[in-house]
């Protein structure tokens, strides 16, 4: 497969029965339908100028990227969920749904998905930030006075909660398949970066773990938080919780920058171990995919490359459609 002289670091996301890949100019989701057909959601990127400027500012760019990815990823996840639900409908019900809801993405749908994505992200981060504080304070408040040790225990509790949650949800059939598609996404990116022809047989040779995965970012936030929180002192539980909330954007920003550094150093024999904690977490968030799942991932990636090449030649943003998809309903 021909490679660009200046390779692009592609990323993706597993969705229900499919994979989304993001290119320079377009995000593409491929979903395997119940009848075996693969359908696509194709959304050209149209980032606002102010968003692009914020993405160039160290520390701040991490937070902007995380929220932006959550919003865009939710739209693709919603598409895959609609496809899955549609496949379970009887023909009569499907006709009623199509007549009632129509096709495409209305402004209200986009706003709704955006709001839910942002609120879900904030809720998850706040809960995972504050709950370990409360638990640690309840269990060890009067055991010792060393605040650094309290912070370490807080980080350990956060990690235990995270691992327990991931293990628990991975036991459900749907999440297990989602994690298999996550592994398929990583394998395709690794195969492409190695210059392999993208066939199921070639792709399956590669690891389901990848340095740039969001799972690595989650692990880094736990580690960075322990040290960053230790810079500040607190007098009571409420002050401690308030500090955690105020420092949350800083933890996310620093973790994002460190993730970029560890990824750039992964080919250095000693320094590559900096990324290992994140890879270990991926042992839970990814599963070995089937050849059929890898085929969907390859289809998504190839379609993204094809559209990326086409859209690179578009001279003005007005010529780019808002979204193109094979309709889920109908």
Instruction: Give the integer Cα–Cα distance in Å for 152 and 158.
Output: 10
Residue 198's SS3 state is coil
Instruction: Give me the residue spans of the domains in the chain.
Output: 11-95+111-312
Query: What value, to the nearest 5°, has the Cα angle with vertex 318 and ends 313 and 321?
Result: 80
Pair 201, 93: CB distance under 8 Å: no
Pair 129, 245: CB distance under 8 Å: yes
Residue 14: which of 1, 37, 26, 32 has the closest Cα? 32
Instruction: Give the integer Cα–Cα distance in Å for 34 and 88.
Output: 8
pLDDT in 10s for each residue of the chain, 330 residues: 444 444 567 889 999 999 999 988 899 999 999 899 999 999 888 767 777 787 788 888 878 877 777 777 778 888 888 888 888 765 555 555 555 554 444 444 444 444 544 545 555 677 888 999 999 999 999 898 899 999 999 999 999 998 998 888 888 888 899 999 999 999 999 999 999 999 999 999 999 998 878 777 888 888 899 999 999 999 999 999 999 999 988 998 998 888 888 777 777 776 677 778 888 889 999 999 999 999 999 999 999 999 998 887 764 444 444 444 333 332
Write down the pTM of the prediction: 0.79
Query: What are the angstrom distances between the C-alpha of 312 and each of 11, 26, 53, 69, 309?
Result: 18, 10, 20, 21, 5
Instruction: Give the integer Cα–Cα distance in Å for 250 and 163.
Output: 23
């Amino acid at each position: 497969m021909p490679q660009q002289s200046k390779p692009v670091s592609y990323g993706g996301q597993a969705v229900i029965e499919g994979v989304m890949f993001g290119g320079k100019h377009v995000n593409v989701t491929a979903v395997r339908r119940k009848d075996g057909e693969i359908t696509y959601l194709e959304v050209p990127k149209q980032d606002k100028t102010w968003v692009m400027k914020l993405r160039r500012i160290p520390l701040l760019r991490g937070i902007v990227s995380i929220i932006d990815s959550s919003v865009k990823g939710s739209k693709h996840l919603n598409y895959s969920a609609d496809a899955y639900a549609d496949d379970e409908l009887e023909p009569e019900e499907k006709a009623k749904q199509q007549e009632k809801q129509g096709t495409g993405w209305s402004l209200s749908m986009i706003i709704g998905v955006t709001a839910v994505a942002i609120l879900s992200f904030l809720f998850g981060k706040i809960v995972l930030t504050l709950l370990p504080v409360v638990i640690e304070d309840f269990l060890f408040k009067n055991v010792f006075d060393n605040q650094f040790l309290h912070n370490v225990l807080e980080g350990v509790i956060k990690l235990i909660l995270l691992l327990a949650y991931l293990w628990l949800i991975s036991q459900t059939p749907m999440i297990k398949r989602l994690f298999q598609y996550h592994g398929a996404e990583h394998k395709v990116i690794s195969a492409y970066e190695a210059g392999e022809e993208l066939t199921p047989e070639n792709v399956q040779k590669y690891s389901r773990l990848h340095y740039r995965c969001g799972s690595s970012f989650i692990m880094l936030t736990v580690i960075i938080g322990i040290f960053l929180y230790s810079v500040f002192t607190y007098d009571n539980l409420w002050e401690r919780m308030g500090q955690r909330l105020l420092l949350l954007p800083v933890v996310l920003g620093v973790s994002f920058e460190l993730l970029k550094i560890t990824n750039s150093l992964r080919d250095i024999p000693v320094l590559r171990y900096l990324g290992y904690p994140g890879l270990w977490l991926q042992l839970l968030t990814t599963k070995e995919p089937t050849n059929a799942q890898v085929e969907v991932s390859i289809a998504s990636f190839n379609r993204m490359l094809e559209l990326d090449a086409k859209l690179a030649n578009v001279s003005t943003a007005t010529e780019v459609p808002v979204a193109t998809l094979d309709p889920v309903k109908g």
